[in-house]
Structure 1
Amino acid sequence: MTEAIVPAAELGRVHFIGIGGAGMSGIARIMLMRGMTVTGSDAKDSSVVTTLRAQGAEVEIGQRAENVTGADTVVVSSAIRETNPELAAARAAGLRIIHRSQALASLMTDRRTVAIAGTHGKTTTTSMTTVVLQACGADPSFVIGGVLTATGTNAHDGTGDVFVAEADESDGSFLLYEPAVGVITNVEADHLDHYGTWEAVRQAFVDFCSRVAERGGTVIVCADDPGSREIGEHARAEGARVLLYGQAEDADARIVGIRPGRTGAEFSLVLDGTEHGPIRLRQPGEYNAANAAAALCVAAELGFPLSDAILGVESFGGTRRRFELRGTGSGVRVYDDYAHHPTEVAAVLTAAREVVDPGGRVHVIFQPHLFSRTQNFKAEFGRALGIADDVVVLDVFPAREDPIPGVTGALIAAEVPHEDVVFLASFADAVPYVRERVRPGDVVITAGAGDVTLLGPELVAALEA
C-alpha cells in the first residue's frame, strides 16, 4: 500500500462506518480529543458507542445512506463491504474514502511512531509498551486493539512526541505506517483469506522492516520465533538496524532465569552486557515475558531509563480479553482470552496449566473465528486444544466471511487428540455442559475472537447459583 497520507487536520468532518469496533473507536477517540468533528454508525449500541457520544461524537445505530450527509471523509475497515449503504452513498457523492489504517497514519504525522506488528501478541505488547512509556514520563499517544484493564480505554492523545500503535497485518495495511521503531513479535501463516500464501505473508513483514529501515529506524524482533527471526536476519543483512530479543543465546536482549508462576512470570533481561532483574510480571506465561522484553527494548531504544521502564512493566495490569479473569464461582476460576490462532490457543492453555490448582483440570470453551481459518488450521487447532483436559468446541464465528459448505467447529473437535472433547452446535448449551463437568480448583478458559467472551460471566453466575 502506497496511498498518500492526508494529515488529520485536513480531513474535515470525519464519518466512521462501524465506529464501535476496537480499531475504529480508538482512532475516533483521538480525533475527538484533537477537536475534530466526528460522526459514525454502528450495527448496535454498546458501552463504546456511549463513551464516544459522551466525548462529542454523533453516532447512529443502523447503517443508512443518509448517515454520511455532511461528511468530508469516510473511514472504513476491511470488514465493510462494497454493498454497505453508507459506503455506496459516499462513493456516489464523491467523498474522500480512506481505510482505517490511513486514518490512523494521519494522526501520526508529527510523532515518533512505534508500530507493533506480529501474528500474535500485538495487543498485549502494545499495551505493555504504552504503560512502560507512561512510567518513563513520556505520555505517549496510543491506539490499541484492546482495552487497558487499569484505565478502561484503548486510545489516548498524549502530550509527548511518541505514538504507540498496534500494527494490524491482516489486510496488509500496516505498510502505510512510517515507524521510528518497529516491533515484530512473531510471524506465522495467518490471514490467508487476504494473502493467499505463506510467502505473501512473509513478504509483507519484509516490507514492514524496509519501511522502518528507510527512515533510519530500528526493528525489534523476537529471536525465538522462526518466522520473525528469519525476517529479522534478512532485514539485518539488507542493512537495517535490528535488535533481537528472547531466550535465544545470541539475542541482543536476552531473557534469562524465566520462572513461570501462578501469579505471574518472573525473569531477568540481559541488555548491553548488564543483567536487569528479577522482573516480576502480573501475567502468567513465558509468552508474556517475551512481550515484556519487547516493551523494555522499545523504551531503551527511545532513550528512556530501563529502571523506570521495568517499574512500568511490573505495574502492568493487563488487557481485557487477554487471559482476563472474569470471576470465580464454586472454587472455579474463569478466564477469557482472544486467542483465535493455534499458536495463541496453545500459549494460553499452557499458561492456564501454570495457574491451575494442584490436581485441578483445565477446561476450554473454544469458538473458531472465520470459516477459512477453521478449514486451513483444523489439525493445528485440534493439537493446541488437546493441551486442555476438557474441550468444548463451538460453531464458527463468521465475522466478515460467508459460510464454506461443510466447514463447522466439528472439524476441529475431530482433531483433538483425546476423548474429553465435544462439539456443541448450540451456543446456549456451552454453559450448562461445562457447569456439570467442573469442580473446585479447576480453571475454565473461554477462547476466541467472537462472542464467546459473553459466556465467561454467564458461567460464573451459573457456578454461583
Structure 2
Amino acid sequence: MAPGIPAAMERPHFIGIGGAGMSGIAKILTRRGAKVAGSDSKESATAEALRALGATVHIGHAAGHLADDATCVVVSSAIRADNPELVRAGDLAIPVVHRSDALASLMEGLRPIAVAGTHGKTTTTSMLAVALTELGLDPSYAIGGDLAGPGTNATHGEGAIFVAEADESDRSFHKYDPEVAIVLNVELDHHANYASMDEIYDSFETFVGKVVPDGTLVVSADQAGAVELTRRVRDLSALKVVTYGESASADVRVHKITQRGLTSEVTVVLNGKYLTFTVSVPGRHYALNAVAALAAGVALGIPAHNLASALGKYTGVKRRLQLKGEAAGVQVIDSYAHHPTEMTADLEAMRGAASDARLLVVFQPHLFSRTQELGTEMGQALALADASVVLDIYPAREDPIPGITSTLIIDAAQAAGADVTAVHDKATVPEVIAGMAKPGDLVLTMGAGDVTDLGPQILDHLSS
C-alpha cells in the first residue's frame, strides 16, 4: 500500500549521495521506480550498492554531473553554497530540496514513527525496523547507519509503517508529521546550530508539536532533559504521552536489566504485566532503546509479546559496538560514540560485558565546535579506559577553530588520571595499538569520523 513517487522526485539528483541519510532516501526512491542520480566525493560500498539498484553515481562534484532534466536537487545541511552542482541547479532553475523534505514526502500516506534524541536514534530506529520486519509488517525505513543483519540503511516496504531517524542537528526533524514520536533524551549538542538548552528545548517542542492529532509521544522517564520536555508538552491537546524507563512513575517501567556477556535480558512492566525479552547487544543504554521501541510499537497497536520476541532478532548496527574481529587473542570493536554521554555509555557497556579485560581505546574527536564545548567531558569519559590513543580532530563539515585541538581532551583525560597518548599520524595507529595490546584485551575504535577504517588495519597488525 506504499504510495508512489512524488512528482518532484521522479528524477532527483543527490549531492553527497553516499552519506548515510542521503543514500537511504535515494535507495527508497530507486526501489519505488525513480530515476535517481547523484554525486559523492569518493567511491564507497554505498555508491556501488546504489548503482546496483539502478542509480547513476558520479565521483567528485562537477556542474556537468547534473542532468538538465533533473526534477530536483537534494541536499543536506553539509553541502556548501559554492558546490558546482548546486550552482548549476540555480542557473537551470531546478528546485533545491533539503534531505528532510525529501524524506517527509516519502512518508506521506503512511504511518510514520519518527525517532529523535541526542543519542540512540540509529539503534532505536534499527530495532523497530528489524522487529516490524520480523513480524511480517514489511515496513519502510530510513536509518542513519547500516543494519548488521540486512546490511542496509533503508528499504521500501509494502506495509503501512514508515520508521525514520529524525535528526535534530539542523532542526530538520521539524519537517515530519509522525503518528508516533520517540524522544530518547535531550542534551546540548550541535553547538554550531544551538546556543543554549533553551534553544534545544524549543526545537524538540516544535518536533513534538508536529505529531498528528491523537498521536503518541514515547519519551524517557529517566533522562533529565526528556523529563523537562515532557513537562513542557504535557498540555498539548490530542497528544498521548507514554513514558518509559526505570523510574517508578514510568508507564512502561523497566523492572530489571541483566547483562549476560554481549547481550542483555530486560524485564518490563506493561499494563500491570511482566514481560521479559532479550536484547542482543550489551549495555543498559541499548536495553532502554529497546524498551522505547517496544512502547512505540504498542502505541501503533502491535501486541507487546509479539514485539518483545521480535526485538530479540535485532543483532546490531554497523559502528554501534560492532565486533570487527579477533586476532592474537584481542577483540577489536567499533563504536560511533562521539559525544561524552555516548562515550561513557559504550565504555561502561564494554566494562560490563568483559569486566576482566583491559580496555584500549582509539578515539577520534568529531568536529571542532563539539570539542570546544565538550572536550573536557570527552577526556573525563576516556578515564574509563585502561589506556587511550587520541587522534587529531576529524573536521567533517567544519573549518578549524583557532586554538581548538585534541590537546583539550588529552589534558582533561590526564587530569582525570587517564593513560592517554596523542597520535597525530593516523597511519601509525595500528602499529601503536599492536605494541600495546595483549591477549584478552579489548580494543575500541571510537568516533564518528574515519577512525572506523582502523579496525581491520589493527587486526592485520595483530595477526602479523
> Could you state the TM-score of these two structures normalised by the residue count of structure 2?
0.96
SS in 1 for 2:380: helix
- Work out whether 1:181 is the aligned partner of 2:180: yes
1:41 corresponds in structure 2 to 39
Match of 1:429?
428
Q: Which residue of 2 aligns with 1:142?
A: 141
Residue by residue over 1:73-106, the C-alpha shift from the partner in whole angstroms, topping out at 9 and shown as x without a partner, is: 0000000000100001101211110100011011
Q: SS where residue 315 of structure 1 aligns?
A: coil
In the alignment, is the contact (CA less than 8 A) between 1:356 and 1:442 conserved in 2?
A: no
Deviation of 1:402 after TM superposition, in Å, equals 0.3
**C-alpha distance in 2 between matches for 1:10 and 1:65:** 20
Question: 1:319 Cα deviation (Å)?
Answer: 0.5
| C-alpha distance in structure 2 between counterparts of 1:218 and 1:150, whole Å | 29
CA distance in 1, matches of 2:5, 2:80: 26
Q: CA deviation at 1:144?
A: 0.4
2:386/2:418 contact within 8 Å kept: no
Residues 178, 215 of structure 1: 8 Å contact kept:
no
Residue 158 of structure 2 aligns with which residue?
159
Q: Confirm or deny: 8 A CA contact 1:136 1:305 kept in the other structure.
A: no
Q: What's the CA shift string for 1:281-305, capped at 9, x where partnerless? A: 1100000110000111111111111
Partner AA of 1:228 in structure 2? A
Distance 1:460 1:111 in 2: 44
Aligned equivalents of 1:201 and 1:396: distance in 2? Answer: 25
Equivalent residue, structure 2, for 1:309 = 307
State the distance in 2 between where 1:17 and 1:410 align: 34
Q: 1:93-124, CA deviations, whole angstroms, 9 ceiling, x for partnerless residues? A: 11110100011011011101000000000000
Conserved in 2, the CA contact under 8 Å of 1:136 and 1:304? no
Alignment of 1:22-101 (within 5 A): 22-70=20-68, 71-101=70-100
Correspondence 1:226 to 2:186: no
1:415 match: secondary structure:
helix
1:357: how far off?
A: 5.4
Partner of 2:103: 104
How many Å separate the matches in 2 of 1:26 and 1:327?
A: 27
- Cα distance in structure 1, aligned partners of 2:182 and 2:25: 21
Match of 1:236, as an amino acid?
A: R
Q: Give the letter for the 2:131 counterpart.
A: V
Q: How does 1:162-241 map to 2 (within 5 A)?
A: 162-212=161-211, 214-239=212-237, 240-241=239-240
Moved more, 410-419 or 28-37: 410-419
Instruction: Verify the 8 A CA contact 2:8 2:71 in the aligned structure 1.
Output: no
- Residue 256 (structure 2) aligns with: 257
- The correspondence of residues 308-327 of structure 1 with structure 2, limited to 5 A, is 308-327=306-325
Amino acid at match of 1:195: Y
Retained in 1: the 8 A contact 2:265–2:279?
yes
Which residue identity is paired with 1:402?
D
- 1:287 is aligned to 285
Tell me if 1:409 matches 2:383. Answer: no
Native 8 Å contact 1:148 1:318 kept in 2: yes
Shift of residue 12, structure 1, vs aligned partner: 3.0
Distance 1:377 1:325 in 2: 27
Shift of 1:341: 0.4
Once the two structures are superposed, the pairs formed by residues 361-372 of structure 1 within 5 Å of their partners are 361-372=358-369
Deviations 1:385-418 (A, max 9, x none): 1111111111000000000112111110110112
Letter in 1 for 2:349: A
Say whether residues 1:266 and 2:265 are aligned partners. Answer: yes
Shift of 1:132: 1.4
Structure 1 residues 153, 290: CA separation in 2 closer, same or farther (over 3 Å shift)? Answer: same
For 1:373, which of 359, 370, 394 is the aligned residue? Answer: 370
Cα separation, 1, equivalents of 2:352 and 2:327: 20
Tell me the distance in 2 between the aligned counterparts of 1:238 and 1:113.
Answer: 19
2:320 paired with 1:329: no
Gaps of 5+ in 1: 1-5
Displacement of 1:307 after TM fit? 1.7
> In the alignment, does 2:387 pair up with 1:390?
yes
State the distance in 2 between where 1:402 and 1:34 align.
38
Q: Distance in 2 between matches of 1:141 and 1:40?
A: 22
Cα deviation, residue 137, structure 1: 2.1
CA distance in 1, matches of 2:409, 2:279: 33
- Partners of 1:348 and 1:170 lie apart in 2 by 21
Asked whether the 8 Å contact 2:8–2:72 carries over to 1, the reply is no
Partner of 2:397: 400
One-letter identity of the residue aligned with 1:102? D
1:12 corresponds, among 10, 13, 18, to 10
- Alpha-carbon deviations, 1:233-284, whole Å to 9, x = none? 321233431100011110000111211231211110111111101x121100
Output one character per residue of 1:354-401: Cα deviation in whole Å (capped at 9) or x when no partner: 12252x211111100000000100111111111111111110000000
Q: Report if the CA contact (8 A) 2:320-2:336 is conserved.
A: yes
Measured in 2, the distance between the counterparts of 1:419 and 1:270 equals 40
Aligned letter for 1:387? L
* Counterparts of 2:436 and 2:56, CA distance in 1: 47
Instruction: Quote the offset at 1:156 in angstroms.
Output: 0.7
Kept in 2: contact 1:135–1:308 (CA 8 A): no
More displaced stretch, 135-144 vs 242-251: 135-144
Tell me if the contact between 2:383 and 2:419 (Cα under 8 Å) persists in the aligned partners: no
- Listed one character per residue, the Cα deviations across residues 194-237 of structure 1 (whole Å, up to 9, x for unaligned) are 1222211111111111111x532100001111001110232123
Deviation for aligned residue 1:7: 6.8
User: Alignment identity in percent?
Assistant: 46
SS at match of 1:349: helix
Structure 1 counterpart of 2:74, which letter?
V
CA contact under 8 A between 2:382 and 2:418: conserved in structure 1? no
Structure 2: any 5+ residue segments left out of the alignment?
none
